[in-house]
Amino acid sequence: MHATRPRQISRRSALKAAGVAAGALGVASAVPAAPAAAAGYAHPGLLHTGADLQRMAAKVKAGAAPYTSGYAKLTANRHAQSGWTANPQSTVVRGGTGQNYAILYNDIHAAYQNGLRYHVGGDSAHADTAVAILNAWSAKLTSLAGSADRFLAAGLYGYQAANAAELVRDRPDFELERFQKTLRTVFSPLSESFLVEHNGAVVTNYWPNWDLTAMACVLATGIFCDDTAKVEQAVEYFKNGTGLGAVRNAIPVVQDDGLAEWLEAGRDQGHALLGVGLMGTVCEMAWNQGIDLYGYDDSRFLKGAQYVAKWSLGNEVSYTANTRKKGAIGGWSGTETASDAAGVDPTMTRPIWAMIANHYTKRRGLSAPYLTRIAAKAAPEGGGGDYGPNSGGYDQLGFGTLAFTRDKVTVADTEGGAPSPSASGSVTAGGSPATPSAATTAAGKNGDLAATGSTDLVAWTTATGITALAGGLLLLRRRGRRAAE
């Protein structure tokens, strides 16, 4: 599988594309922009681009930390072994009588892990295994059934299946068109309908995770199948959807300290972690096609992720009471109020943090101390099978230490004083997104997780000739003063 070759952009074009994005705690940074492709979506281009896969392989071959520890987690997982035999079903049931969905998520994670191991280690036996698993399922699966949980199955396993298949889509023995049909006819329709009808319930009946699983599936299907309408549906819902998974509903209150309350923190820690992981997944897949949801609405997701990270580390956070309507349209109805952030277990972790921390601190050069701390604490991240036997341990594909660790963008990486397209996504001034379009492509990325401090930011903005926001610089001066006291 070959990386998409990034087009070169002129200094003038790069300066025009580069913007200043406000981040958590008032820190600002110029960010890289992706060049446009001739047409269509970049492949591979879901959670991993060709440049990502090449970086992982090169770093592991060189024995570089922390990639080697991340790869060791992958090779030790039982799902990542070649020769895994699929057990496809014609109907997968989640919720109610006859549940068998564990068969599906175990097979999908085996396909993904073997595909990833093939790209990093180079053994074609792993690619053969991934292809065999995915071909077996696309040949047999025809429906998803069960209670309302069938929508969760469609969303979670739809986006994961697309990511597994993206790793082997150019293998000659992979049934690409048949797998695209499976995504279009089995997984995505349930997710698309949920975003519109919410299973016949009032729009706030379902917590944010339900919408987020659906968005992830629709977006992944759209990219994998080169279906612009699906991509646009997911992106538009992220920005302006009426359900609780839309970014301003999932993260309803921005606090004076620059953090933003995560709605589901009023429910419990496990579901809040799931939500952050899913929103990060949506943002990363969009970014790899030149659509910046990470920076949307003044980097609202950064502020919400920082909040959840701070809370999950055992720190106190404030929470504004939130009352949501529940029930069926034209049927039973009621309300439920979340009045405070739930208690947390600081030892609880999920493999969600490396991806988010690396984006904000490495691609964008922002200071995100809580994300940096919790990502370091969770490293090296594993994947499905490393976080318990139940379905919650399979909600993320994981292995972020291997997959998303990247080098910080520095002055040396810039062209003519402006950022080079070292991230596969476009960003405009103020952190607002570029126009969503299929006509964008991934560009190269590099790799190492570490906090980007305020001194790095000042040096970077000075060298590039782009002035940071006054409020951000004022905050940096105040921080320096406190450090000296």
Alpha helices in 141-225 (DSSP H): 149-166, 176-182, 188-197, 208-224
The yes-or-no verdict on residue 312 having pLDDT over 80 is yes
Residue 398: beta bridge partners? 383
Of the pLDDT bands very low, low, confident and very high (cuts 50, 70, 90), residue 477 is very low
Q: What are phi and psi for residue 418, nearest 5 degrees?
A: -125, 155
Q: For position 410, what pLDDT does the model report?
A: 62
Of 382, 385, 378, the residue nearest 402 (C-alpha):
382
Of 255, 330, 261, 251, the residue nearest 293 (C-alpha):
251
Q: For position 430, what pLDDT does the model report?
A: 29
Q: What is the mean pLDDT of residues 131-141?
A: 98
How many CB atoms neighbour CB 99 within 10 A? 16
Angle at 370 between CA 367 and CA 375, to 5 degrees: 100
For 167-225, what is each residue's pLDDT tens digit? Answer: 999 999 999 999 999 999 999 999 999 999 999 999 999 999 999 999 999 999 999 99
Chain centroid to Cα 54, Å, comes to 19
pLDDT top residue among 60 and 473: 60
CA–CA dist 408, 427 (Å, integer)? 17
pTM recorded for the entire structure: 0.80
Residue with tokens 């068998």: 100
String of DSSP letters for 357-405: HHIIIIIS----HHHHHHHHHHPSP-BTTSS-SSGGGGSS-B-HHHHH-
Chain centroid to Cα 218, Å, comes to 14
Q: For position 107, what pLDDT does the model report?
A: 98
String of DSSP letters for 290-359: T---TTHHHHHHHHHHHHHHHHHTT-------EEEEEEBTTS-EEEEEE-SPPP--TT---TTHHHHHHI
Sorted by sequence, the CB contacts under 8 Å of residue 235 that are 6+ apart come out as 219, 286, 291, 293, 436
